[in-house]
Amino acid sequence: MFRYLKANGSKPIQMRTLSADMKRGTPVTVDYANDEVDKASTTGGIGFVDIPMNADGLNAVYSPTDGSFEDLKEGTKALYVPTYVGERYATTELTVGNLEVGNYLKTASGKFVSAANSEVSEWVYGDVYSDPTGLTMYAVEKIPAHTVVTYAVTYNKNDVGASGTITDAKSPYQSGNTVVVKPVTGITAPTGKVLDVWCTKEDKTTEGAITYNPGDTFTVTSATTLYAIWKDAPAE
């Protein structure tokens, strides 16, 4: 599915042949050598494919309705919609994963996904779009090219008597994302100890140390290691 949310009305929309099966709203690039559109696998020069609303004959991709007719077949013609900075669209062709609103996007195999460290992004994620048909869609906005910065968040058991690991599946985080501090689940505490707090220093009394309880949040602005600070377990 595909929606125009904010677009330049004078853009040169074109009819082009599809090099593969696609869905409306697939981000694509133009292969000028073959006069086709391909599923986008990079960030540059991206447009979308859409249905030709009044096409017939050779250009009839399918009956243009907002029902279940979203599939565009290889070898048929569809609209190629170029995109400009400041435009907003809604598409189903996005993998949400750990995205937060404002995160930078890249493309992979014709879908928008989260951009990784040092990759160039030309799109940001704009949240879930409530489509009138009831289908879940996602808003995306075209931006000037931006190099993405990400930071790792790691957990350190901070005691030779502790064992196990905690892995944050969302790490690395794009700069400015929100981290929810994890519980100590996954680490076996040293004998006779329980978690007191997580800390940005190995000793919470160190100058500049910041402590967090599980479930607390903070904004990522640099690579961060959280050290487990242990205390004596309460007497039974």
Q: Would you kindly state where each structural domain of the chain is located, as residue ranges?
A: 2-147, 151-232
φ/ψ region of 171 (left if φ > 0, alpha if ψ in -120 to 50, else beta) reads beta
Are residues 119 and 37 in contact, defined by beta-carbon separation less than 8 angstroms?
Answer: no
> What confidence score (pLDDT) does residue 214 get?
96
Q: What is the distance between the alpha carbons of residues 83 and 179, in angstroms, rounded to a whole number? A: 33
Q: Which architecture does CATH list for 2-147?
A: Beta Barrel (2.40)
Q: pTM higher than 0.95, yes or no?
A: no
**11-to-24, 35, 63, 173, 224 alpha-carbon distances in Å:** 18, 19, 24, 35, 45
Residue 148's contacts (CB-CB under 8 Å, 6 or more residues apart) are: 104, 115, 116, 117, 118, 119, 120, 121, 174
Query: Which residues lie across from 94 on neighbouring strands?
Result: 112
pLDDT score recorded for residue 53: 58
Mean pLDDT of 219-231: 96
pLDDT tens-digit profile of 94-149? 999 889 999 999 999 899 999 999 999 999 999 999 877 788 899 999 999 999 99
